[in-house]
Structure 1
Amino acid sequence: MPILKRMSAALILTVGAAMPAMADDPATCGTVHLSDPGWTDITATNGVAAVVLSALGYTPDIATLSVPVGYEALKNGQTDVFLGNWMPAQQKFRDDLDATGDIEELVQNLEGAKFTLAVNKAGADAGVADFADLDAQKDAFEGKIYGIEPGAPANQSIQAMIEADEFGLGDWELVESGEQAMLAQVGRNQDAGTPTVFLAWAPHPMNEAIEITYLSGGDKQFGPDFGGATVHTLARKEWAASCPNAAKLFGQLTFDIGMENVLMGKILDDGMGAQNAAKEWIAANPEAVKPWLDGVTTLEGEPAEDALMAAVAE
């Protein structure tokens, strides 16, 4: 090769090596819209997503929306990603979204979850271990089942059970409130020794704070294995196609029960903000985040892992 050609080739290689890989996402992908139904587990995972997105140069925009409104927002293009598709409890909403053809599942982000009715220690001591045991103890339970926010699919399942008089519960009352209000009431009842039946789930630090007995017999309402569930990440197809770098991140962003219990404990018990809890966890578990960032760059095309670890070290 002539000297001039060799020099030119070397110059091209040197310049090319010095230039960062170009990000796949245009500037229009800079803001990522998510929703949070007010559940601490999704608040925690949204916190993780927000920390990673911010470190990579994106701006997370998280709206607090009830489950039905959140699904409508995803369907109507007001949000881009939802980390809280609990299945099979949200099958009805999922079917509605799938029918539009505009939504895709990016990943199953959690397995080993469960979600069904449970009783506190006083309820278990009263002999309640199954849905069918409840009605015989109606007076002790004051005929109340404590649920979460209005419109939640789990509440709908409970209300349908009451209206159908299943297990003799036709004259019971569903008390709807947010997660924190429900757990505060359960805590007060526990301190008073009052039998209480309520929606319970894992992951959640309630499983450490309250002596919980998950009830059998609710397979029809919540699914087998005490409402055994998986959680999925959904995104708008148009967004995922337009923003492949961010979509790749969300397609690799997975969690486990232990991690979420820790994060939720920091939020609920220690009063930490979700993003501060996520930063602390990521800084302490650098190896765990590597799979999330495989093949992902910052919005500017720089290495994602370096940017994230620098951000959580601040």
Structure 2
Amino acid sequence: MKPPGLRRGRRMLALAVCVTAVATTMACSSAQDKGDFALVADSGGGGDDSGGGAESVTLIQQPWVDLQAENEISKQILEGLGYSVKVDEVSVELGAQAMSTGDADAYLGNWWPSQEPTYGDLIDAGDVEVDSTILKGTEYAPAVPAKTAERLGIKSLADLDQHGDEFGRRIYGIEAGSPGNETIQKAIDDDAYGLGDWKLVASGTAAMLTQVQKADSSGKAIVFLGWSPHWMTVDFGATFLQDPDKVWGGAGEIRTVSRKGWAADNPNIAAFLKNLTFTTDEAGQFYYDKDKDGKSLPDIAKAWINDNPDKVREFLKGVQSSDGQDAESVILK
């Protein structure tokens, strides 16, 4: 899974993935063949550039596969119930801003406490409401591959600097401006653990993981921003570094949050989103299916829905379709 903001402006990009009655024969044929998941016509597409109106939702996401898959699962089911769903991909900080101004409605990726610097004040002010916990048992911290940890005897952030030459005094991060990157940069600026002469290398998630793969394969030392659930914990044996001085915020859970007042105006969609829960194994499998097996997000979501009718049934408790039918009778056949 992936964690966690740009302070620099970036234009919001909308991801359009249509799962409508018009495309049912293409997008949902395998699901209907199984006879356990049926989509009805949606209620009108992705909405406008602002947050959703009645019977609609604008979700936000970052390029983290678990979050993308969970949004896609939500999109397919909600559109099957006749609701309108739009997904905008934005940085953590621009997403928080969009939630506070009403340009977005809900977020299934609120890593906590690592996103506290971005979301804490908004939550305290009541502009963003915490609805539920979607996943527990996360890890999010600087990490080294298991082979590096064993060879150099590294268990803690305090162990890094004595091996600075082998690491090139570099810590590889993810997207520029993410809260994790900012925490690393602050540690460098404060010379925490003697890291004052180290450098943060900010890049995209895919670029970082490619760099880790190359270093791990060639036996070179590398420290990077790691998280779990993710296939990196298996492929690299990612060893999350201890933080005795409590420099790192960590991440114990992922929460669903929504903008102030949205849930009251959209009770059925809100009830559905509050019901969502996933395990670390499920989230890790989303990453593996996408990054390793090359499956598309719509196919990953559709397969998960078909393979997990009992969980889908839990998601639909207390939910009605846009025309007032019991959600389970519409979705599960």
TM-score between both structures, scaled by the size of structure 2? 0.80
Residue 44 of structure 1: which of 69, 84, 89 is its match?
A: 69
The answer to whether the 8 A contact 2:154-2:160 is kept is yes
**Structure 2 residue aligned with 1:212:** 238
Residues 306/270 of structure 1: CA separation in 2 closer, same or farther (3 Å cut): farther
Distance across 1 between alignment mates of 2:325 and 2:87: 25
The answer to whether the 8 A contact 1:77-1:236 is kept is yes
- Would you say 1:282 and 2:308 are equivalent positions? no
Residue 183 of structure 1: which of 195, 209, 219 is its match?
A: 209
Residue 226 of structure 2: which of 194, 200, 222 is its match?
A: 200
Residues 218-257 of structure 1: pairs in structure 2 closer than 5 A: 220-223=246-249, 227-257=250-280
User: 1:84-131 CA deviation, whole Å, 9 max, x = no partner?
Assistant: 111111112222212432221111111111111110134211222111
Residues 172/178 of structure 1: CA separation in 2 closer, same or farther (3 Å cut): same
**Structure 2 residue aligned with 1:159:** 185
User: 1:199-239 CA deviation, whole Å, 9 max, x = no partner?
Assistant: 1111111112212211112561334xxx3511111101221
Q: Calculate the aligned-residue CA RMSD, in Å.
A: 1.6
The answer to whether the 8 A contact 2:55-2:266 is kept is no
**Structure 1 residue aligned with 2:57:** 32
Residue 196 of structure 2: which of 170, 178, 185 is its match?
A: 170
Residue 261 of structure 1: which of 284, 302, 305 is its match?
A: 284
Residues 126/243 of structure 1: CA separation in 2 closer, same or farther (3 Å cut): same
Comparing both structures, which one devotes a greater share of its residues to helix? Answer: 1
The answer to whether the 8 A contact 2:123-2:130 is kept is no
Q: Please tell me the residue identity of whatever aligns with 1:271.
A: G
Query: Residue 271 of structure 1 aligns to a residue in which SS?
Result: coil
**Structure 2 residue aligned with 1:11:** none
Distance across 2 between alignment mates of 1:263 and 1:202: 12
TM-score between both structures, scaled by the size of structure 1? 0.85
Query: Residue 247 of structure 2 aligns to a residue in which SS?
Result: helix
Structure 2 stretches of 5 or more lacking a match?
A: 1-51
Residue 67 of structure 1: which of 92, 106, 110 is its match?
A: 92
- Would you say 1:102 and 2:111 are equivalent positions? no
**Structure 1 residue aligned with 2:36:** none
Q: Please tell me the residue identity of whatever aligns with 1:93.
A: T
Query: Residue 165 of structure 2 aligns to a residue in which SS?
Result: coil
Residues 69/121 of structure 1: CA separation in 2 closer, same or farther (3 Å cut): same
User: 1:136-188 CA deviation, whole Å, 9 max, x = no partner?
Assistant: 11111111101111111111110110001011100000011121111111111
Percent of residue pairs bearing the same amino acid type: 38
Q: Please tell me the residue identity of whatever aligns with 1:289.
A: V
**Structure 2 residue aligned with 1:147:** 173
Distance across 2 between alignment mates of 1:292 and 1:58: 15
Quote the offset at 1:273 in angstroms: 2.1
Distance across 1 between alignment mates of 2:57 and 2:300: 20
Distance across 1 between alignment mates of 2:146 and 2:268: 48
Query: Residue 86 of structure 1 aligns to a residue in which SS?
Result: strand
The answer to whether the 8 A contact 1:50-1:275 is kept is no
